[in-house]
Amino acid sequence: MAGALAFSDYLDLVPKVELHLHIAGAVRASTLAELATANGLQLPRPAATLYQWKDFYGFLEVLRLGALALRHRADFARVGYECVEDMHRHGNARHVEIFFNPHYYTPNGATYPEIVDGLIEGIARGEAEFGVSALLISCIDRSVCLPSEALEMLGWMEKHKRAQVVGVGLDGAERAGPPLVWVEAWRQAGRAGYKRTAHVCEDNQTLFEGPPEHVVHCRDALGCERLDHGYNILANPDIVARAAREAMPFTVACWSSIVPNRGPRQQRIKKMFDAGLIVIPGTDDPTMFATTIGHGWRTLFAANGWHKAEARRLSLNGVEASWLPEDRKAKLRVEFAAALDALDARLDPADRTLDLAIERPRPMPG
């Protein structure tokens, strides 16, 4: 039926690819509370307010709880499954690539095989139930890991090779370890056939800590096929022009962990888009910072006055920038184009309002 779909519902139904999602920031508060209790840990607050910390130390306390609470294969299977379910229910993700940091969990007794096989079990169940495919990216948090630990992680990945683990990622504060520190590990990952990405030029880093030149280092020295964040690139028009020319994909996240930075970041994402960069909106740490993929898209579209043309471009950007095999990518491209055509035909052309509620009645595809 033509013209029946409100813009908020349309945007929630647009098929999406999520490429910037950390499993540590995507655990439901209720699940974290249950797993922590089952593993004999004390909660700092009741489950309902677990993610409502007062200050930075409160935030670190919850991060630490998350690292301590996930210990067994079944724990990882549960969070993997629930993450895929949330991506499906809150914004119609069709494919998800999930960052996980093995070094968060190994000090507490979980082994790399338990972590990875648990996650694979969870995402496989999610795919069977919701039709959402998922891949995994093994990550190094440079605030807590040394380059030698990146090599150690690669050793685990080689010893326990799994088709679902397609790449390596570098996260955590850029000031703690600029890109060139990781050259040896990232080159080794490339030789082993892994895709590579890195968090770079995040706008909570100064231009000294995360300068645009780091994009060049990630590309040329680390061999990254994709980059996460990238906002500080705007300070150097030459590097922006190169990134546009080379169609470098940037997985951006409009819901910054630093609340006053959310508005400015949404404008930076628009500037990156307008400069011809390939951007793909992601959620980063959705449950921890109270957002969903649908909410992130609605927020970004409301802030930037975007409509269906931008929705189509961002939706298809996700397919192109994903690390799916070429045949699966081709299939998804066709599916996405057909779904977008059908949604366009149903969209109420006069409606441009966007509901910015995080949780809202869920429109179902079809």
Considering only residues 69 to 128 of the shown chain, the ones binding Zn ion according to CB under 5 A are: none
Binding mask 323-362 for Zn ion (x = CB under 5 A): ----------------------------------------
Closest contact distance (angstroms) between CB of 253 and Zn ion is 6
Considering only residues 214 to 233 of the shown chain, the ones binding Zn ion according to CB under 5 A are: none
Closest contact distance (angstroms) between CB of 166 and Zn ion is 17
In 3-state terms, what secondary structure has residue 14? coil
Which residue, judged by CB position, is nearest to Zn ion in the bound state?
284
Nearest CA among 153, 234, 225, 142 for reference residue 188? 153
Closest contact distance (angstroms) between CB of 197 and Zn ion is 10
Nearer to Zn ion, 26 or 33 (CB): 26
Closest contact distance (angstroms) between CB of 60 and Zn ion is 16
Contacts of residues 216-222 at CB distance under 8 Å and 24 or more positions apart, as own/partner, are 216/242, 217/178, 217/179, 217/180, 218/179, 219/246, 219/248, 221/179, 221/180, 221/183, 221/186, 222/170, 222/179, 222/182, 222/183, 222/186, 222/187, 222/196, 222/198
Q: Are 286 and 249 in contact (CB under 8 A)?
A: no
- Would you list the DSSP string of 232-245? GGGG-HHHHHHHHH
Nearer to Zn ion, 224 or 347 (CB): 224
Nearer to Zn ion, 44 or 172 (CB): 172
Closest contact distance (angstroms) between CB of 288 and Zn ion is 11
Phi and psi, residue 170, nearest 5°: -125, 120
**Residue 280's beta-bridge partner residues?**
251
Nearer to Zn ion, 137 or 303 (CB): 137
Nearer to Zn ion, 75 or 284 (CB): 284
Nearer to Zn ion, 250 or 301 (CB): 250
Closest contact distance (angstroms) between CB of 96 and Zn ion is 14
Burial of residue 310 (CB within 10 Å: 0-12, 13-18, 19+) is: middle
Nearest CA among 174, 183, 164, 176 for reference residue 223? 183
Tokens of 365: 């595809």
Closest contact distance (angstroms) between CB of 102 and Zn ion is 16
Alpha-carbon span 248 to 212, nearest angstrom: 14
Residues 6 or more apart in contact with residue 145 via CB below 8 angstroms:
103, 172
Nearer to Zn ion, 73 or 295 (CB): 295
Number of amino acids touching Zn ion (CB under 5 A): 1
Sign of torsion over alpha carbons 279, 281, 282, 286: positive
Closest contact distance (angstroms) between CB of 217 and Zn ion is 18
Closest contact distance (angstroms) between CB of 282 and Zn ion is 8
Nearer to Zn ion, 26 or 120 (CB): 26
Closest contact distance (angstroms) between CB of 171 and Zn ion is 5
Nearer to Zn ion, 114 or 284 (CB): 284
Binding mask 271-300 for Zn ion (x = CB under 5 A): -------------x----------------
Alpha-carbon span 200 to 314, nearest angstrom: 20
Residues 6 or more apart in contact with residue 157 via CB below 8 angstroms:
112, 138, 165, 168, 192, 194
Nearer to Zn ion, 173 or 235 (CB): 173
Residues found near Zn ion in the complex (CB under 5 A): 284
